[in-house]
Structure 1
Amino acid sequence: MSGFSESEERQELRKQVAKLAATYGPSYFEKQARSGEKTTELWLAIGKQGYMGVNIPEEYGGGGGGVGDVAAVCEELAAQGCPLLMMVVSPAICGSVIARFGTEEQKRRWLPGIADGTETMAFAITEPDAGSNSHKITTTARRDGDEWLLTGRKVFISGIDEAANVLIVAVTEDARRKSGGPGKLKPCLFVVPTDAPGLEANPIDMEIVSPEKQFAVFLDDVRLPADALVGDEDAGLLQLFAGLNPERIMAASFSTGIARYALEKGVAYSKEREVFGVPIGAHQGVSFPLAESKIEIELARLMTQKAAALYEAGDDMAAGEAANMAKYAAAEAACNVVDRVVQVHGGNGITREYGVAALLVAVRVGRIAPVSREMVLNFISTFSLGLPKSY
């Protein structure tokens, strides 16, 4: 990225992804989501064109780009009415962690499938009693000879039914014994086959219209080989943040993409719908809220690009701050614009025909996951402003 414009390569990437996504469009996405089907056809098409693994090193089947590139892919898909949640998870979180901390053998085993979309990988960190507190994770890995046994629970795990493997965050039994109390545990990461004996995944009934389902996952002495562990079991949060910073950057792009899609629909309707002899977009009561949303979306996109650039430069702490800010700003922009666009549509805004009411739930997720807006504000209060912690 040079100055305030993206490179020509990334701009061309956006153009080509948008072109591909437009051949499927919102009607395809909604049809698949409402019928309980998957968007596998689109997913594999993205992989075949090299867009899925654009951030994964070339030697493992990827494009050799950065998180900003895969975030651009995620955003453009959403902007065409095809927001694919697993783009956040598989290539961005799992791909980034394995590329950065995996052994050569692990990279060769898992990255090519992630890159071309043929072996999607899910990610499991959230637990029923831990929520956003990664220090309170209770999923435990204990050694059994050269192998590991994994036991615990996870909740709100996306797309595990369409993933060959899931990257699970746990703590080792040794770490639990040595921790000296809460807040000292070091998370570690394991790649677990989704068909492993002892792993059970139960769907959670959600209101959101999405082809990707959410699951509660139960692990009962799931036996894993030694090389299921990714990276160092003592590295702790460093490895976790290698996945969580891209997660927040991708979540921001996911939100800004949906926001752009909603704004486009609102603007189009405001030009077509006439009341009192003029298009409703001529009235400032309609045009000003849409203009405000344009500003909010572009500001969020700019912070997302900054976060991606800092991450690619290897500045993890600065990237973490910017990624949290971007995720927060993008979720707020998306919630605001969808609310405004529903209002612009009037009664049509809550019909299925016009396709905006379902976005109310979709964008609301951005304020909750992958980290709540309140936890982002906690982080900014303490890390950026130096205020005392309340927790």
Structure 2
Amino acid sequence: MAFRKAFVPLRTLNSLCRPKSFTQNISPQLPPLISSTRSFSSSPCRRIMEMSGFTESQLEVRDAIFKICANFPDDYWMEHDQTGEYPHELHAALSKDGWIGIALPEELGGAGLGIAEATMMLHTIAESGAGIAGAQSIHANVYATQPVAKFATPEQRQEFLPKLIKGEWRCCFGVTEPNTGLETLKLRAFAKKDGNTYTITGQKIWISSAQVAQKMILLARTTPLSSVSKPSAGLSLFFISLDKSHPGLTMQRIPKMGGRAIDANEIFFDNYPIPSSALIGKEGDGFKQILHGMNAERCLLAGEALGLGYAALGKAAKYARERVVFGRAIGMNQGIQHPLADAYMNLEAAKLATYHAAKLYDSSGKVGGPTQKEVGVAANSAKYLAAEAAFKSCERAVLAHGGMGYAQEYHVERYFRECLVPRIAPVSREMIMNYVAENALGLPRSY
């Protein structure tokens, strides 16, 4: 299928992403970023996007995802935010043509593209008006599967990943615990081996989509902290089933401020059994494995923050053009113009940092490519900058609307509630600054 009028399935896009195929198959009249069924006034024009250094595959991902998201208007997301209902329809639409497998191997049904394309996908979902909630509906399925794809056996990959790509399964990521927070190396959830079975005991918290997930990628301790030579040892990664009928598994939904369409949960394991075949890679290598997914998540969340910021800014600019006070559009006033222009420039700078980090991630592991530390500095910096830029845009969008910014019908209050997520999760601003100070500037460790 050529890129003309219709939405392009990802499996078709994958075959076109190679340079030779692109020149043969892409129509010279590429579809505009403005959907015919919905106006995405917040979208930067395609020419600006092209001048940002994006590849043709990234731009085609953007076009195709906007077309899907045109079927999910602002009122859809407002309703799901109010009811807390998971956006099953969006998940189904994205999985129908393989988008959930955008960064997973081709032989498993994925596209074999990079985190740069995946970042563009989540950026675009958020920018469409779906915000953080829309992006988070597939967030874990994109990044948490990266360690599985890299470290699992061929048999495990064939068993675990195709159904996730097809949308038959959803997965969540189980790392954070209530008593350890950012101290990942001090996790207490324990997987005890007995023959061909592990039993898990412990707690996890802030686990998104667990209510609708059939699977979890779980980090648990397999050797007591007191028995390891260094804190990063003794942690193991598992791909487990969530049998919600089992008495050893209990989950409790956490009421929260924003992104309410995506459930967040506290999960309790009490001698919950899993087969030993659920172990990914070697026992004790779990922390090294999840680092592969953590840098990917930083890039993806940066993209989501960007999308949210651009969506808010687009709403604010539209309102400022149309709202008349004292006989003139409020957008004529520099008191409105300058804060919005400043927010735009911050988003543009964060955008460059985000896709630079994604490019580094995709080139790591290659001869002469960046080290994991270099990728980590770039990915953490991008997440920080994008989160701050999104916060500025969302706050100023509310203020530009005046009193109507507080009204649900204008949607910017929803964006503002959601923009706090990238500032907090999965790592705080302060910990990012600690990391950058130590690893980019060579300063002594502060914690």
Q: Give the TM-score taking structure 2 as reference length.
A: 0.84
2: distance between equivalents of 1:172 and 1:97? 18
1:59-208 mapped onto 2 (5 Å cutoff) = 59-82=107-130, 83-93=134-144, 95-173=145-223, 176-180=225-229, 183-195=231-243, 197=246, 198-208=248-258
Partner of 2:90: 42
2: distance between equivalents of 1:287 and 1:35? 35
2: distance between equivalents of 1:308 and 1:180? 33
Q: Which amino acid aligns with 1:126?
A: T
Alignment check: 8 A CA contact 2:213 2:242 kept? yes
1:221-232 mapped onto 2 (5 Å cutoff) = 221-232=271-282
Partner of 1:274: 324
Partner of 1:56: 104
Per-residue deviation, residues 347-381 of structure 1 (Å, max 9, x unmatched)? 00001121111222210111110111111111011
Alignment check: 8 A CA contact 2:236 2:283 kept? yes
1:353 pairs with one of 409, 412, 428: 409
1:27 matched to 2:83: no
2: distance between equivalents of 1:101 and 1:185? 17
1:298 pairs with one of 343, 348, 366: 348
Please state how far the C-alpha of 1:172 moved relative to its aligned partner. 0.7
Question: C-alpha root-mean-square deviation of aligned residues, in Å?
Answer: 1.7
Please state how far the C-alpha of 1:4 moved relative to its aligned partner. 4.3
Alignment check: 8 A CA contact 2:207 2:265 kept? yes
Change (3 A) 1:355 1:184: closer
Identity of aligned residues (%): 34
1: distance between equivalents of 2:286 and 2:154? 20
Per-residue deviation, residues 236-284 of structure 1 (Å, max 9, x unmatched)? 4320111111111111111111111101000100110112322111111
2: distance between equivalents of 1:118 and 1:271? 45
Alignment check: 8 A CA contact 2:222 2:236 kept? yes
Please state how far the C-alpha of 1:210 moved relative to its aligned partner. 2.4
1:16 matched to 2:60: no
Change (3 A) 1:142 1:46: same
Give the length in aligned residue pairs: 388
2: distance between equivalents of 1:203 and 1:85? 16
1:370 matched to 2:434: no
Partner of 1:339: 395
Q: Give the TM-score taking structure 1 as reference length.
A: 0.95
Per-residue deviation, residues 211-244 of structure 1 (Å, max 9, x unmatched)? 1111001111111111101122232432011111
Q: Which amino acid aligns with 1:6?
A: F
2: distance between equivalents of 1:274 and 1:258? 26
User: Residue 256 of structure 1 aligns to a residue in which SS?
Assistant: helix
Per-residue deviation, residues 169-211 of structure 1 (Å, max 9, x unmatched)? 11113x5353157x35442211121116312111111121421
Partner of 1:382: 438
User: Residue 98 of structure 2 aligns to a residue in which SS?
Assistant: coil
Which contiguous aligned blocks of 4+ residues in structure 1 show a shift greater than 4 angstroms? 1-4
Task: Please say which of residues 274-283 and 317-326 is displaced more in the overlay.
Answer: 274-283
User: Residue 220 of structure 1 aligns to a residue in which SS?
Assistant: strand
